[in-house]
């Protein structure tokens, strides 16, 4: 059931011994929202614990550093930025039908919780959460401001995505006034590339292939390339975004060799083509502009299949 | 002489037959400010013309498209975002001692104009100009909003640079409300890389040199490299930002061969080192985290000089 801001405030105020769930493969918005809510509820003297199927990546250290794990039996379960129970992950499966409140901004939210506060106009769950915390009379301290700002910048690509609104900027301004360490956060989130990442980028940029009159850009990242850079998995964060930055490109395809003949494929598309439909053609999924799938086969064969499907989608735009 | 906001409003209101000067190698802030002011003053039925030593790059087409060149003898000369008469360029040398009003945000402004409205707390000249236009009761239409938003995002790296303040976000919110086409602008400014730009980036990334225990990253871009990519001047936009993205780097230096033994140097620094001081040591100028200078000499000699000065600044942080 969807609930209003006031009802949500009431539920939160009445709750005690709270478990906050962040989604698996945690991103800045789910981490930011979980920890902002944690610090807020702790300031109201409630018992609070955070659960996430996967470890929280190191780059969020600054916002997770004030966390102390408490042992208690949860009486109230909140999921933040979790659109679907599929995103709980195996280790939190037990809570799938026990969520009292979900705070989210995804249009695709499955309304699996007893109460769902869904603000689809918010660019990030953290943007919606700011409003909520203000209504609860929580003092937005530096730490909470850092959490909320992290969620907002990561979910908007630093105010670039079309989900950004005037209100997103207003909230950012308020968080600046509360002392958000935006410089450190932006560097951690966007500008902290390792030397191996730079090397990989250099190789990737040099190896971009163009098809269909430059409307399609394709990148192949082999295990050999990655090994050469000495990088770990995090080196891939955002690398498929590279294809989206190229002038005139409608479909960006990044093919990454996982192992042997297993390839992970990312699609990034302009408003002309649905990335979701492309991925779905290969049993994958995702969003309209960003989606992915796994394909097995020899690389030339994988490329051919992908280009054939891409050609179909681009047909109306080719001269 | 520095003047107040009110005095500036008065000067602008009284002016007629106005020439607006943007700085050479025009960036988003000088272009955005020049055209925002042009549209604003035209809406007040004044005669206005814009002058810039270099052609305005194509990526600003959306904001320059409403411009009509008028022929008249200028009676009032305004420089926008121009910190120093050195930045007028050869073809506008005649105006160096004839500037009635300068509107700027650079700490390093040389106060060469009869009147200077200097708002050093503004992250961009366009941020300061917004305030000014509001005080002049100019209606901020979609076109003016696009101009001002362009200046703000380009001068703040899309709200990432430390010059960004709560007020920068507030102004951005107001510009959204005035209909700024932020999606198109952000794509044009940040995500529209030409194939030649990608090639140059690939070469640059491969050629990064590290000094002082990786605290300094240095890039040399020769004319030969640029010729190889077949790129024009706009290919350099933001390329010096690359050094700032590297983990652990406090000083990023980009040396670009202008011609023969003339090199344009950009400094990008962390909070530990002043880019402004580094540039000033070579008669350059700019901001605390981003500054630049011109050095003449053989490349090895230029590098040596730069590294010597950088080493002095980094000394306290070296083990």
Q: What is the pLDDT of residues A230-276, one digit of tens each?
A: 776 666 767 777 887 888 899 999 999 988 999 999 999 988 999 98
Q: Return d(Cα A222, Cα A131) in angstroms, integer.
A: 45
Taking CA atoms, what residue in A is nearest to B206? A202
Look at residue A243 in the predicted model and tell me its pLDDT. Answer: 85
Interchain CB distance below 8 Å, A159 and B159? yes
Q: Is A20 on the interface with B (CB under 8 A)?
A: no
CA distances from A80 to A98, B47, B160, B240 (A): 14, 56, 26, 38
Nearest to A164 among B170, B182, B192 (CB): B182
Look at residue B102 in the predicted model and tell me its pLDDT. Answer: 98
Q: Is the pLDDT score of A124 beyond 80?
A: yes
Give the model's confidence band at A287: pLDDT under 50 very low, under 70 low, under 90 confident, else very high.
Answer: confident
Q: Is the pLDDT score of A174 beyond 90?
A: yes
Q: Per residue in A175-223, pLDDT tens?
A: 999 999 999 999 888 877 788 888 888 888 888 999 999 999 999 998 8
B228 bridge partner residues: none
From A313's Cα to the closest Cα of chain B, the distance in A is: 22
Q: Is A271 on the interface with B (CB under 8 A)?
A: no
Taking CA atoms, what residue in B is nearest to A175? B166
Give me the mean pLDDT over the A60-74 stretch. Answer: 95
CA distances from B223 to B198, B211, B213, B258 (A): 16, 23, 29, 7
Which spans in chain B are helix H? 5-14, 28-43, 61-64, 125-135, 142-156, 166-177, 182-190, 195-206, 223-229, 275-280, 299-314
Identify the burial level of A143 via C-beta atoms within 10 angstroms of its C-beta, where 0-12 means exposed, 13-18 middle and 19 or more buried: buried
Token reading at A183: 């410089």
From B27's Cα to the closest Cα of chain A, the distance in A is: 19
Interchain CB distance below 8 Å, A210 and B195? yes
| Interface contacts A/B by beta carbons within 8 Å | 103
From B138's Cα to the closest Cα of chain A, the distance in A is: 20
Unique residue bearing structure tokens 């949860």: A74
A2 bridge partner residues: A116
Nearest to B166 among A159, A177, A198 (CB): A177
Are A125 and A102 in contact by the 8 Å Cβ rule? The answer is: no
Of A7, A234, A237, nearest to A117 (Cα)?
A: A7
B161 bridge partner residues: none
Look at residue B233 in the predicted model and tell me its pLDDT. Answer: 64
pLDDT tens digits, chain B, 319 residues: what are they? 999 999 999 999 999 999 999 999 999 999 999 999 999 999 999 999 999 999 999 889 999 999 999 999 999 999 999 999 999 999 999 999 999 999 999 998 999 999 999 999 999 999 999 999 999 999 999 999 999 999 999 999 999 988 999 999 999 999 999 999 998 899 888 877 788 888 888 888 888 999 999 999 999 998 888 888 877 666 676 787 788 788 889 999 999 998 899 999 999 998 899 999 999 999 998 888 889 999 999 999 999 999 999 999 999 988 7
Interchain CB distance below 8 Å, B199 and A205? yes
Rounded to the nearest integer, the mean pLDDT of chain A is: 92
Q: Is B190 on the interface with A (CB under 8 A)?
A: yes
Element (H, E) at A32: helix A28-43
Look at residue A234 in the predicted model and tell me its pLDDT. Answer: 63
N- to C-terminal Cα distance for chain B? 46
A266 bridge partner residues: A254, A292
Give the model's confidence band at A15: pLDDT under 50 very low, under 70 low, under 90 confident, else very high.
Answer: very high
Chain B residue numbers with beta carbons less than 8 Å from the beta carbon of A172 are: 159, 169
Give me the mean pLDDT over the A80-93 stretch. Answer: 95
Look at residue B190 in the predicted model and tell me its pLDDT. Answer: 84
Q: Is A214 on the interface with B (CB under 8 A)?
A: yes
Interchain CB distance below 8 Å, A183 and B271? yes
Give the model's confidence band at A290: pLDDT under 50 very low, under 70 low, under 90 confident, else very high.
Answer: confident
Q: Return d(Cα B268, Cα B253) in angstroms, integer.
A: 7
Taking CA atoms, what residue in A is nearest to B190? A245
From A148's Cα to the closest Cα of chain B, the distance in A is: 15
Interface test with B, best of A130, A149, A152, A166 (most B CBs within 10 A): A166
Q: Return d(Cα B177, Cα A200) in angstroms, integer.
A: 41
Unique residue bearing structure tokens 């001047």: B233
From B263's Cα to the closest Cα of chain A, the distance in A is: 24
From A168's Cα to the closest Cα of chain B, the distance in A is: 8
Interchain CB distance below 8 Å, B170 and A169? yes
Look at residue A103 in the predicted model and tell me its pLDDT. Answer: 98
Within 10 angstroms of residue B3's Cβ, the number of other Cβ atoms is: 18
Q: Are strands B115-118 and B101-104 parallel, antiparallel or unpaired?
A: parallel
Q: Is A301 on the interface with B (CB under 8 A)?
A: no
The most distant pair of C-alpha atoms in chain B lies apart, rounded to whole Å, by 63
């Amino acid at each position: 059931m969807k609930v209003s801001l006031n009802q949500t405030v009431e539920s939160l105020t009445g709750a005690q011994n709270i478990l906050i769930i962040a989604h698996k493969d945690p991103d800045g918005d789910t981490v930011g929202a979980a920890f902002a809510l944690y610090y807020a509820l702790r300031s109201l003297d409630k018992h609070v614990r955070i659960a996430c199927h996967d470890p929280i990546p190191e780059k969020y250290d600054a916002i997770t550093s004030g966390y102390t794990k408490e042992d208690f039996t949860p009486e109230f379960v909140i999921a933040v930025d979790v659109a679907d129970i599929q995103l709980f992950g195996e280790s939190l499966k037990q809570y799938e039908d026990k969520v009292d409140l979900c705070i989210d901004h995804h249009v695709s939210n499955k309304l699996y919780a007893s109460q769902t506060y869904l603000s689809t106009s918010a660019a990030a769950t953290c943007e919606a959460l700011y409003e909520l915390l203000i209504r609860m009379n929580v003092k937005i301290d530096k730490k909470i401001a850092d959490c909320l700002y992290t969620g907002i910048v990561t979910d908007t690509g630093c105010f670039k995505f079309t989900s950004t609104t005037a209100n997103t900027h207003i909230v950012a301004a308020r968080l600046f006034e509360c002392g958000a360490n935006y410089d450190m956060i932006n560097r951690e989130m966007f500008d902290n590339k390792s030397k191996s990442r730079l090397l990989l980028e250099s190789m990737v940029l040099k190896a971009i292939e163009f098809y269909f009159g430059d409307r399609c850009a394709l990148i192949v990242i082999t295990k050999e390339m990655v090994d050469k850079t000495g990088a770990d998995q995090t080196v891939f964060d955002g690398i498929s975004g590279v294809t989206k930055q190229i002038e005139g490109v409608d479909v960006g395809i990044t093919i990454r060799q996982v192992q042997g003949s297993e390839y992970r494929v990312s699609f990034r598309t302009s408003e002309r083509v649905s990335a979701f439909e492309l991925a779905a053609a290969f049993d994958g999924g995702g969003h309209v502009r960003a989606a992915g799938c796994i394909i097995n086969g020899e690389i030339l064969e994988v490329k051919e299949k992908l280009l054939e499907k891409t050609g179909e989608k681009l047909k109306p735009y080719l001269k």
